[in-house]
Structure 1
Amino acid sequence: MSKEEKKVNRRDFLFTASYTVGAVGVGAVIWPMIDQMNPDKAQQALATTEVDISNIEPGKSITVLWRGKPVFLKRRTSEEIAEARAVKLDDLPDPQKDEDRVKEGKDEWLVMLGVCTHLGCVPLKDKGDFNGWFCPCHGSHYDVSGRIRKGPAPTNMEIPKFEFVDSNTIKIG
């Protein structure tokens, strides 16, 4: 092997090694910037929440926090379900059937964000003209299905994504 060939081979190796070290260095600098765009662990933990519903008696409700917002879980009685289903859709400012606000086969469980759709206040349970929720800030009245019936709120209370994990647990989110 001649001196010239040794120089070329050595030069090629040095160039390749330099590019490899440079690429690893650039990756080491860029990775923290990319990784910081991921949500932090606290946000990931709040993405879903599981709630034990085994102790909620018919006619009662509880409030839990999910993503920093209150969520109302109400176990409705058969009378409350019948009352909600007897309402004519023409009487509702935001027409929505009661059946569309609950999971099929689990009609007694109403799960909704506890936020007034007018200005984001938290309505009071078992109050108002329709035995549902009442927002005292501006006078919005919701029925036992969380539908707006009277007042300035433009829409019904929102139903979050939820599922029944088992007969005693609801997973929200």
Structure 2
Amino acid sequence: MASEVRQASADDLTPGGERRRDFLYVATAAFAGAGVVPVAWSLVNQMNPSADVLALASVDLDLSAVQEGQAIKASWRGKPIFARHLTAAEIADAKKVDVATLRDPQKLEDRTKPGSEQWLITLGVCTHLGCVPLGAAEGESRGDFGGYFCPCHGSHYDTAARIRKGPAPKNLEVPPYTFKSPTSVTIG
């Protein structure tokens, strides 16, 4: 019985000597591979930004109507933007602060554009847990330092939107922006 050797039948061999089973393995793998490509593509593609976000990849703001001491709110990539027209007193207060004493040390000049230091443009998202701070609209609390106040957990920002008190670890983020004219800015 040990000497019995199974002879290949005519059904197992193709004319080229390859086995039909090998063909079935290759065909099955190719079919499965062809099915994996669309599934993988859809999984990767769903991570791309949606059309409404891409539409807001950049936003233009007209700042000509914003008076000194006022701020406006806008939206960029689904997040609030604060654009504040700083007064001379607010600029002076921001420059007087010893940067070494700040949790996230940045000068006002690092947060504004040269020649346009009266315009402070930041994301309106608290760096602690993502709440929207108060202080951009008329009559809202500006906190202990005259900038912004986050009512969720009590973070206080100064006139340069730098964290001064509370649990927020960083200053309000400054988005990428460029001035097209002295009162027209493109964010993004």
Q: Same fold by TM (over 0.5)?
A: yes
Work out the percentage of aligned pairs sharing the same amino acid.
52
CA distance in 2, matches of 1:149, 1:40: 36
TM-score normalised by length of structure 2: 0.71
Letter aligned with residue 112 of structure 2: V
More helix by share: 1
CA distance in 2, matches of 1:107, 1:137: 29
CA distance in 2, matches of 1:91, 1:128: 18
- The answer (yes or no) to whether the contact 2:60–2:187 under 8 Å persists in 1 is yes
Is residue 53 of structure 1 aligned with residue 68 of structure 2?
no
Provide Cα deviations, 1:34-83, integer angstroms capped at 9, x if missing partner: 9x946554332110000111100011000101111000000001111010
TM-score normalised by length of structure 1: 0.77
Q: Count how many residue pairs are aligned between Structure 1 and Structure 2.
A: 143
TM alignment of 1:1-173, pairs within 5 A = 37=45, 40-125=50-135, 126-173=141-188
CA distance in 2, matches of 1:73, 1:168: 11
Alignment gaps of 5+ in structure 1: 1-29
- SS of the residue corresponding to residue 68 of structure 2 reads coil
Aligned residues: CA RMSD:
2.0
CA distance in 2, matches of 1:166, 1:39: 30
The structure that has the greater radius of gyration is 2
CA distance in 1, matches of 2:125, 2:50: 25
Letter aligned with residue 137 of structure 1: C
Aligned-residue offset at 1:168:
2.5
Letter aligned with residue 159 of structure 2: V
Aligned-residue offset at 1:91:
2.1
CA distance in 1, matches of 2:53, 2:162: 30
